[in-house]
Amino acid sequence: MADIFISYRMDDSTVLARELARLLRKVGWTVWFAPELAIGDELEEKIDPELAAARCVIGLWSRTAAASPHVEAEFVYAKQHRKLLATITDATPIPEHFKTAIIGNLSKFSMMTYGPDLPQLLRGVAGMIGLPAGFEDVETLIASAVDEEFGFYRLGNITVPAKYLFGSPREPFRPEDVVIHDTDIVHEDRPDYPQILRDAYPVLLADVFTRFNIDASRYHDNSLPRLDGWRQAPELADDSRGQLHLHFSRTTYFQLWATNVGVDTPYDNPQLGRQTTIRQSYCYPPYEDLFQSVLSNNPSVEVVVISENPDQTPARQVLIRRRRLNVAGYRGWFQSSASGHLSLAHRDAAGRPSPFAAAIGEAIQEISHSLDLAPEDFRLIGLTLKEQDFNPSFYGFIQTDRLASELVSDFCRDDYEGKKSAIAFDPETVLRHIVENPWYPLSAMALMATLFTFYPSQEIHAVARRLPVKRVQDFYFEHNDTEDQEKKASVAVPA
């Protein structure tokens, strides 16, 4: 008999149950859930003994679970025996009599990402049945269960919820190293694009507009570049690096919102005869070729601006920005010097969308209108992905001899979005700031990668190993605020 029993409705939670079971087993607990039954076995004959023997019951509550008397009975039994940890997996309200057993919301859980409620669930299980053999504390268990499992970027004690795809800080790309292939083909108009997503857009967009209190009539469905994929050419005969090929097509602003912002909004899927979400149906680990992804994949650019001037102390400083609390996204989080979506306004000399042009355009409008920069001044380090195939982001750096204090006080268009500041650009200062403050993951990665361009690898790794731990889940806590930190510190087992 297993330590943990997962109660759920097979119609919509099998992938979640299987993935959750895999993580729980990885750290040493035993788990039982219904799909492991051999064909022909009687469910009730297997379920009842496992339910009774389990020391913990994780209940996955959903729209279809709410319609199942079997799931309801399992929840009731587990609640009566004080071993229920209830989790919500979609927007369906959980009955009042189960609310005292709620441990979290796993609606955003998948094979590549999760919100802070997955660590909360792991803490709840440990608090109810104890730690598996080999673990002395629950935080080490969480790190073992999730940080390495998802292949996230790790530097010393810092693990960022993002995946590093290509590039080398020691050999940044210049415009002449990159070949851009561009087409006006609209991604969503391709014959193999899922019709169900086209049909779902009105529902998804209505949810986004309602959530952000936006008047839809004010917005136009403008065209954006979509990153279909990339190819790094092999080394040349003289051992020099081959060119990087980037392939762009088109998506639209509204499609971007509908797929990437409304990713967890339920919509009706007639083929399944029930509701589903984009995350449940179409989100996968990063692809070798992003053309396989149905998401919009309009890339952004993270720009690190470094001021290097002997007339200031220290001579090398980096500009950072903290988002204001009244802006739409990432309120109160720190970001790199400048960032923004690649648009058709960001074109190279041949008229193709270019991350180099985007980086310069964003740096000028977000740092200082008086910066004198050209695309050649941006050193492209690489590409990273936050979570699954969401938010592909080019990142790199720009050097300037302008004083950091002058740039911080200079005029720029986007002053209203957040406050600029400057800190010393050295491994100790930068990495400590990332550890101790809420940082947007892709911006944190951009800064960390840029450090390797300027400082020896051994020095950076030594600093990162001695700093306090910052795990994936610490990036996910909403703004790392006091309430969430208190949740992280102590989780009571539901009555």
Domains of the chain: 4-150 (3.40.50.10140), 158-174+299-486 (3.90.79.10), 178-292 (no CATH)
Which residues lie across from 268 on neighbouring strands?
275
Q: Does residue 23 or residue 128 have the better pLDDT?
A: 128
Containing 481, the helix (H) or strand (E) segment is none
Q: Does residue 453 or residue 474 have the better pLDDT?
A: 453
**340 contacts 356 by C-beta, under 8 angstroms:** no
Phi, psi angles (nearest 5°) of residue 441: -55, -45
pLDDT tens digit string along 395-415? 999 999 999 999 999 888 766
Both structure tokens of 466? 């001695």
Question: HSE (CB half, 13 Å, CA atoms) of 144?
Answer: 20
Q: How confident is the model at residue 51 (pLDDT cuts 50, 70, 90)?
A: very high
> At a CB cut-off of 8 Å and minimum separation 6, what does 421 contact?
319, 320, 321, 322, 408
- Percent above pLDDT 90 for the chain: 41
State whether residue 179 is helix, strand or coil: strand
pLDDT score, position 385: 80
State whether residue 205 is helix, strand or coil: helix
Whether the predicted pLDDT of 149 surpasses 80: no
Instruction: Tell me whether strands 267-269 and 244-252 are parallel, antiparallel or unpaired.
Output: unpaired
Both structure tokens of 13? 């939670």
Q: How confident is the model at residue 474 (pLDDT cuts 50, 70, 90)?
A: confident
What span, in angstroms and rounded, lies between the C-alpha atoms of 303 and 362? 8
**48 contacts 69 by C-beta, under 8 angstroms:** no
Q: What is the mean pLDDT of residues 93-119?
A: 71
pLDDT score, position 57: 95
- H and E: helices and strands count for the chain: 16, 20
Say if residue 184 is exposed, middle or buried (CB neighbours under 10 Å; 0-12, 13-18, 19+): exposed
What span, in angstroms and rounded, lies between the C-alpha atoms of 242 and 249? 23
pLDDT score, position 483: 41
What span, in angstroms and rounded, lies between the C-alpha atoms of 469 and 432? 10
**pTM of the full structure:** 0.74
* Least confident stretch, 18-32, 206-220, 366-380: 206-220
The closest alpha carbon to 201, from 249, 250, 248, 252, belongs to 252
Whether the predicted pLDDT of 490 surpasses 50: no
